[in-house]
Amino acid sequence: MLKYLRSYLGHIRNCLALSRLLRGRWTHNLRNTYWYDLSLPQALSLSGMLKVLWWGLFRRKTDEISANYAITNLYLADPMGPGLDAPAPTVWHCRSLVGLPWHDYPSAISEMLERNSQTIIQEYLNVKHLLQTHPDDASLAGKGKWKGLFFYAARGQKNEDLCKLCPETTRILEQLPLCTNFGFVMFSELAPGTHVKPHTGSSNLRLRFHLGLQVPDTENVKLRVARDFRPWSQGKVLAFDDSFEHEVVHQGDQTRVVLVVDCWQPGLKPEEIEILENPLFGRFGRG
């Protein structure tokens, strides 16, 4: 109880600091951004802070919050609920953003990654021995093996050691509009036979880019987002909104590797991104 109350006091301080940050800077998108079932204005209000206290004291939402924020679990999508035809993020949901499962239009981000794919592949080969079991392997990989190596993990935590080992990849990443408070950047490796079960991501404030680094068989290794399966291609990017239900089916016979890069959703305005990049958002709900 005492530990929780200390954490709760930290949450109150965070709410007060965010309220000061947002004073006079509220936009339509920010007002329509929800943290679980609380709009951001509600979450920062006295009633919202009391609701979080209620959740904690009576064990409501506590496991859900801790699991998502420790990235030890991403909740499986309800097959009868949203996710196939509309975004259904588990934590942060901007309801005023227009969401599309796949983003096929020309993108400077995709072009940058594809142009430098050979450099990124070489640096991946130099560090591939460092990959470890992905935090979500146990909960999402129904069978097979899922490994990851993070440049940026939860709460925007930067892996300085990896960045030093991959200086050119880091230089490329630093030129992109990374969404590290609400997303990740990592090498992701799937062993043959792996099935990543249907699920939705934690936020629709980001757009996810997969750069194919090692794609052995485009017919038998596919990603489904909403209702559409697509294969990866070597040195090419797939861009999608992972707040839609998605899964991976690997029926090939060799390991599949991609670079996962989360960038800001293009519907957000620069002034909104400036606010959302504040470290206060990275630790919101964590005390």
DSSP labels, 24-79 = TT--HHHHTEEETTEEHHHHHSHHHHHHHHHHHHTTSSHHHHHHHHTTS--PBPPT
* C-alpha 13 chain-centroid distance: 25
Q: Give the CATH number of the domain where residue 117 resides.
A: 2.60.120.330
Residues 54 and 115 in one domain: no
pLDDT tens for the 287 residues of the chain, in order: 677 778 888 889 999 999 999 999 999 999 999 999 999 999 999 999 998 888 766 555 545 544 443 333 333 344 445 678 899 999 999 999 998 999 988 899 999 999 999 999 999 999 999 999 888 866 777 778 999 999 999 878 999 999 999 999 999 999 999 999 999 999 999 999 999 989 999 999 999 999 999 998 777 899 999 999 999 999 999 999 999 999 999 998 899 999 999 999 999 999 999 999 999 999 888 75
- The DSSP bridge partners found for residue 34 are 39, 93
Query: Which three-class secondary structure state does DSSP give residue 238?
Result: strand
Residues 74 and 117 in one domain: no
Residue with the two structure tokens 């017919």: 219
Tell me how many domains the chain contains. 2
Torsion sign, CA atoms 116, 119, 123, 125: positive
Residues 274 and 239 in one domain: no
CA 210/CA 113 separation, integer angstroms: 9
Residues 9 and 56 in one domain: yes
Residue with the two structure tokens 């200390």: 6
User: Among 168, 155, 177, 160, which Cα is nearest to 272's?
Assistant: 177
Residues 117 and 225 in one domain: yes
Residues 216 and 112 in one domain: yes
pLDDT at residue 54, as a whole number: 81
Question: How are strands ordered across the β-sheet holding 195-199?
Answer: 141-143, 195-199, 246-250, 221-225, 228-231
Residues 222 and 190 in one domain: yes
Residues 117 and 257 in one domain: yes
pTM of the predicted model, to two decimals?
0.90
Dihedral, CA of residue 143, residue 78, residue 157 and residue 168, to nearest 10: 60
Residues 259 and 274 in one domain: no
Domain span at 169: 108-264
Query: Which three-class secondary structure state does DSSP give residue 273?
Result: helix
pLDDT at residue 58, as a whole number: 57
pLDDT at residue 75, as a whole number: 35
pLDDT at residue 79, as a whole number: 42
Residues 191 and 177 in one domain: yes
User: b/e map of 50-66 (b: 16 or more CB within 10 Å)?
Assistant: ebbeebbeeeebeeebe
pLDDT at residue 134, as a whole number: 87
Interhelix angle for 117-127 vs 108-115, to 10°?
Answer: 60
pLDDT at residue 217, as a whole number: 74
Residues 208 and 169 in one domain: yes
